[in-house]
Structure 1
Amino acid sequence: MNGCICCTVRGDLVVALKKLYSKISQFDAVIIETTGLADPAPVAQTFFVDDQVPEMYTLDGIITVADAKHIISRLDDEKPQGVENEAAEQVAFADRILLNKIDLVEEAELAPIEERLKALNPTAQIFRCEKSRVDPTNLIGINAFSLEKTLQMDPEFLNTDAEHEHDPTVSSISTKFEGFLNVRQLDIWIDEIIRTMGANLFRYKGVLSVAGKKNKYVFQGVGMLFSGGFVDAEWAEGEKRECCFVFIGKNLDKTVLLEGFMDCKCSEELRFKIGDSVVVRTGMHTYAAAHIIKLWDDANAYRVQLQDEEKTQMFVPIDEEDFVKVPKKADGGNADAAWDD
């Protein structure tokens, strides 16, 4: 009921399936997406342990997406005694495996990766792909799940009283706020997060309302691989603009992640207006006099024109003192004089 299906046979999933059944006469299938760290076995149990659900639904197949660049390291993760390796569980229970992101590894690496996956699950079909592009006919309506095969692999599959333990060092954090975010400040923060936490980041993603832009900004990443950009979808007139993110990983410093994301929050109202004289940062420790010539230009807070012979134009990404400030009054009263830092 909280929108998340993890790895426990819960009454709310059964209730949801039963309610859905009365509404799906026009549906071809129901697709259930669990969390990335779920053990698939208890979710699959849902289709067998209730009296009514098996009469309403047939479990067609279990699909697992394996990240070609990271799957081996995830399978090799050392877990405390008694703690399950979710990546290994997902591969073992799969009827189809999408070996995704093959463009991020060398061709010669793919065969050994597939051998490792087949060692865990010799019967699952493996499809190499990029961005999970696979013909849907290979994934839906395949009648691939076999209870008999599953019980051979896991005799305790139908034992709903059995307990399984997750790695306590793996957790997630998510938050959202209403308003706007400075995407240039986000870029700086993400670079820092990747550098300091990248090895422990399993998955992170977000949808953002960027100041000065009508289009929504979507980012996602795995480990030290990050991608983000504006999508075609725009914020509709009257739609509540908000920013949200989720990070999943190991030994996460939740305070650092939360505070860092919130530090990217900004207002579309800027301190300066077009025509104002300012001093802008042009290097690590250098500043120069300039005039504001445009507000919110390509998601940058300002475009300015320097007061040099070439009348150079440049972006000021963030509306903060470190990047742009009011000129000091020089002895002669020249308000355009640059700060002497």
Structure 2
Amino acid sequence: QTFFTDDEIGNYYLLDSIITVVDAKHAPQQLDEFHEAQEQVGFADRLLLSKTDLTNEEDTKKLVDRLRRMNPRAPIKKVHFGDAPLAEVLDIRGFNLNAILELDPEFLTDLDHEHHDEVESFVFRAKKPFDGQKLEQFLSGMIQVYGPDLLRYKGILWMKGNARRVVFQGVHMMMGGDLGKPWTKADKKESILVFIGKKLPKDLFLAGLEECLAK
């Protein structure tokens, strides 16, 4: 959070993104034993999966599925000795407020899993607009209580009375938002929010967000 709160550092340095390299051979055990390893996955904008040549196809798939459930917004790329195209690891601008919310489509349909990790994620979707005042009050309250456990969160929002998308994202207790592109007649208006955190009360978040929709 130093990059966002310290103006002197922010004037000279840009936090472009967080890249996490995952050792496919040892990651399952590391994720089981160390919550720090899970947090590194949860914070990531990109996941680079190495040493897949030392694991079989079934174990690799199980690991990829597990990583996807923990962080559905981080693309996963297999690499050999860390060799990756520079365009995929530099100038990503993972902390920019933009209208791109990358979610692995398989995440939304992958319901069966054997691991219940400390770091998990969930998505809220709605085809009704939000009441802006209700949403701000709800998110502010939840962040005050659960901010330390919220690793990353981001949303593209349809707000009542607003002709443009509203984009927001946050890290822990720091949240920011801005206006995005205007909605067009061809757009299917929808809000989508993804939350990544440690033992978050998913049902409480989802029910609260539902109550924030405009009546």
Superposition TM-score, scaled by structure 1 size: 0.34
- After the TM superposition, which residues 133-282 of structure 1 pair with which residues of structure 2 at under 5 Å, given as runs? 158-160=54-56, 168-231=117-180, 233-267=181-215
Amino acid paired to 1:213 = N
The change in CA–CA distance for 1:222 and 1:186 in structure 2 (over 3 A counts) is same
Q: Which has the larger radius of gyration?
A: 1
CA distance in 2, matches of 1:88, 1:216: 30
Q: Classify 1:79/1:209 alpha carbon distance in 2 versus 1 (closer, same or farther; 3 Å).
A: same
Matches of 2:41 and 2:189, distance apart in 1: 38
User: Which residue is 1:330 aligned to?
Assistant: none
What are the residue-to-residue correspondences of 1:1-341 with 2, within 5 Å?
40-42=22-24, 81=33, 85-86=37-38, 158-160=54-56, 168-231=117-180, 233-267=181-215
CA distance in 2, matches of 1:249, 1:81: 17
Contact 1:174 1:244 in 2 (8 A): yes
**AA paired with 1:214?**
A
- Contact kept, 8 Å, 1:171 with 1:251, in 2: the verdict is yes
**Residue deviations 1:47-83 (CA, integer Å, cap 9, x gap):** xxxxxxxxxxxxxxxxxxxxxxxxxxxxxxx975377
For 1:199 and 1:87, the matched residues in 2 are separated by 12
Structure 2 distance, partners of 1:188, 1:253, is: 18
1:264 positional shift:
1.1
Residues 193-215 of structure 1: per-residue CA shift (max 9 Å, x gap): 11110010011111111111101
Query: Partners of 1:240 and 1:88 in 2: how far apart?
Result: 34
Q: Are the aligned partners of 1:181 and 1:265 in contact in 2 as well (CA < 8 Å)?
A: yes
Q: What is the CA distance between 1:238 and its match in structure 2? A: 3.9
Q: What is the Cα deviation at residue 158 of structure 1?
A: 2.6
* Identity fraction in percent: 26
Taking the aligned partners of 2:214 and 2:38, their CA distance within structure 1 comes to: 38
- 1:240 Cα deviation from its structure 2 partner: 1.9
Shift of 1:159: 2.1
Cα distance in 2 for residues equivalent to 1:249 and 1:186? 19
Are the structure 2 counterparts of residues 199 and 37 from structure 1 closer, same or farther at C-alpha, using a change threshold of 3 Å?
A: farther
**Equivalent residue pairs, number:** 137
Give the helix-richer structure, 1 or 2.
Answer: 2
Q: Which residue pairs with 1:67 in the alignment?
A: none
Q: CA distance change for structure 1 residues 220 and 88 in 2, over 3 Å: closer, same or farther?
A: closer
1:273-324 CA distances to partner (integer Å, 9 max, x unpaired)?
xxxxxxxxxxxxxxxxxxxxxxxxxxxxxxxxxxxxxxxxxxxxxxxxxxxx
Distance 2:156 2:54 in 1: 39
Amino acid across the alignment from 1:159: T
Secondary structure of the equivalent of 2:122? strand
Q: TM-score, normalised by structure 2?
A: 0.52
User: 1:7 corresponds to which residue?
Assistant: none
Q: Could you say what secondary structure the match of 1:180 adopts? A: coil
Q: Give the Cα–Cα distance (whole angstroms) in 2 for the partners of residues 193 and 205 of structure 1.
A: 14
CA apart distance, 1:88: 5.6
